Structure formats: structure tokens, C-alpha cells
């Protein structure tokens, strides 16, 4: 009977070259495919910068869009409208999403209601954005008889709600149970534990989900067309039609004027930069504050 040492040494000599080769091939394949996934991202960034950077100037952020066939102007009203509608969507979606995540993870993780909320949230992530626009049109636009920034914010809040809820739940699951047990051990209530221990630990991961939601809301076009429409003027009320960067890009890119097409590229560059900078700054601030 062979000793365990001889058995493993013989097995190692027989399989080691093949296993090493297989490991190297699979490692090379994984690295190659990972790099391949970056190609579309960098291609988009390069294309947007190449076509839109030449038109970027302070006037783009302070002036109104030009009429078809004319040059000059900017898209300041679209930038303001985008910020307003995304802000409204966050005001509606963040409290509902975070509080729902706290309930289904901290208070009743195994209840039927929590299971139903998870299923509905996952289903909502797959609903086409235009359906959310149609829903907001029926719920807000038709009763008020007015396209508005508020209706656009409602449509976007429906889109980003499942993202905030599901990422918030995962952030709470990432907090070690030992933290909760230690808090209970010193006499803290359930609410105090969640407010003072769990939420501060989960906040950086929650902010990541919120920033993903901001990126999606800022770039959506179909729901905004159905609800906020478009406007050539500055926004003066949330109950009036409003311009947005995504709709401006859609409108200008389809016009047969070279200058308007360039403005669409410039608006794309501003939108990508705005979302990226906001995401990076938020991550830096919250990681330093809660690290």
C-alpha cells in the first residue's frame, strides 16, 4: 500500500504540467475577455470627447438652444431641467427605497411581504423605461392637463426605485451581525442600532447604488418625452414643460444641421462628465467620512 506522501507526489508529477497549462490558458482567457469589455466603454468616451469637446464653452451653460438652422447658443435650460427632474426623482425614490430596504432586511427579512417586495423590485428593473413614462403620463400629466418637470421626476423615480431598494438591501446585508449584537448587548434598541450603527456602516454602499440610479435617470429619454416634453425656455415652475439633456441630444442628433449635431455631441460629453464627476466625488467623500 502506497503511503500518502508517495500518492500525492506521484499525482502532482502526473498532473502538474497539464494543470499549469490549463490554468495559464484560462487566466489568459479571463484577462482578455475582461479587457474586451472595456473596449466599448473607452470607444464611447473617445468618440464623445472627440466630437463634443470642440464646442464646449461657457456659453453652452448660460444660453438657450438655437433655432433650427442657426448657430450659437447653448443648452443651459436643458442642464437645469435635467438637474431638477433628477432631483425630484431622488426626493421621491430615496426615502421609499431606503426605508423599504431597512424593513425587509432589519425588521421582517423572512416575511411574505418582504419576499413580495423583493420580487416586485426585481421585476421593475426589467420593465422598459417607456412604460414608466406612459404610467406617469396617465397618473400626472392627464389629471393636471400639463406636461411638467414633476411628471418627469415621477417617471424617473419609478425607474430608479428598484435600483435604490435592491442596492440598499445588499448594503445592509454587508454590515456584520456582530455590530448589531454588540449594540443590543449594551442596551440599544432596534431603532437605535439601525440609526447609529447599521446605517452609517452601510451608507457608502448605499451611495453607490444611488449614484447608479442618478446615472440612469439623467440619461433616460423616453419617459421624459412622455412627461416633461421639451421647452426652448428656462424652467420657471415644476408644473411646466422642461428641457432635458437626453431629449435635447435626441432632438438635435436627428436634425440635418451640422452645428446642432455638434451640440448633441457636446451635450453628451457634458452629461457623461456630470454623472462621472458626481459619482467619483460622492465615493471619495463618503468613503473618507465613514472609513
The torsion angles phi and psi of 74, rounded to 5 degrees, stand at: -160, -155
Cα–Cα distances (Å) from 130 to 119, 134, 138, 243, in that order, read 21, 6, 12, 18
In the predicted structure, residue 104 carries a pLDDT above the cut 80: yes
Distance, CA of 153 to CA of 235 (rounded, Å):
14
* pLDDT tens column, 31-79: 999 999 889 888 988 999 999 888 888 888 999 998 888 888 899 999 9
CATH class of 58-290: mainly alpha
Distance, CA of 203 to CA of 206 (rounded, Å):
5
**pLDDT recorded at residue 6:** 55
* pLDDT tens column, 185-194: 898 999 999 9
Distance, CA of 103 to CA of 172 (rounded, Å):
11
**pLDDT recorded at residue 291:** 58
User: Quick one: residue 230, left, alpha or beta (phi over 0 = left, psi -120 to 50 = alpha)?
Assistant: beta
In the predicted structure, residue 21 carries a pLDDT above the cut 90: no
- Statement: the pTM of the whole predicted model exceeds 0.95: no
pLDDT mean over 237-244: 93
Cβ neighbours around 33 below 10 Å, total:
9
Confidence of residue 7 (pLDDT cuts 50, 70, 90): very low
**pLDDT recorded at residue 4:** 52
Q: What's the grid cell of residue 213?
A: 440610479
Amino acid at each position: 500500500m502506497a503511503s500518502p506522501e508517495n500518492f500525492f507526489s506521484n499525482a502532482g508529477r502526473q498532473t502538474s504540467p497539464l494543470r499549469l497549462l490549463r490554468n495559464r490558458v484560462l487566466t489568459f482567457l479571463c484577462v482578455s475577455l475582461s479587457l474586451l469589455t472595456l473596449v466599448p466603454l473607452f470607444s464611447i468616451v473617445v468618440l464623445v470627447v472627440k466630437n463634443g469637446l470642440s464646442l464646449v464653452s461657457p456659453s453652452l451653460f448660460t444660453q438657450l438652444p438655437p433655432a433650427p438652422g442657426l448657430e450659437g447658443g447653448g443648452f443651459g435650460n436643458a442642464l437645469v431641467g435635467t438637474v431638477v427632474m433628477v432631483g425630484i426623482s431622488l426626493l421621491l425614490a430615496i426615502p421609499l427605497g431606503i426605508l423599504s430596504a431597512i424593513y425587509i432586511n432589519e425588521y421582517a427579512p423572512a416575511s411574505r411581504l418582504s419576499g413580495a417586495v423583493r420580487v416586485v423590485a426585481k421585476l421593475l428593473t426589467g420593465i422598459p423605461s417607456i412604460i414608466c413614462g406612459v404610467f406617469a403620463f396617465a397618473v400626472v400629466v392627464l389629471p393636471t392637463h400639463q406636461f411638467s418637470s414633476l411628471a418627469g421626476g415621477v417617471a424617473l423615480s419609478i425607474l430608479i426605485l428598484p435600483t435604490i431598494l435592491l442596492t440598499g438591501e445588499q448594503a445592509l446585508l454587508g454590515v456584520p451581525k456582530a455590530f448589531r449584537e454588540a449594540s443590543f448587548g449594551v442596551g440599544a434598541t432596534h431603532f437605535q442600532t439601525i440609526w447609529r450603527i447599521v446605517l452609517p456602516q452601510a451608507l457608502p454602499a448605499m451611495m453607490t447604488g444611488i449614484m447608479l440610479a442618478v446615472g440612469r435617470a439623467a440619461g433616460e429619454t423616453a419617459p421624459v418625452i412622455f412627461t416633461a416634453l421639451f421647452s426652448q425656455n428656462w424652467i420657471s415652475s415644476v408644473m411646466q414643460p422642461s428641457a432635458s439633456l437626453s431629449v435635447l441630444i435626441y432632438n438635435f442628433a436627428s436634425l440635418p444641421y451640422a452645428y446642432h449635431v455638434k451640440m448633441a455631441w457636446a451635450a453628451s460629453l457634458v452629461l457623461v462628465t456630470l454623472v462621472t464627476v458626481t459619482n467619483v466625488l460622492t465615493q471619495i467623500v463618503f468613503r473618507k467620512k465613514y472609513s
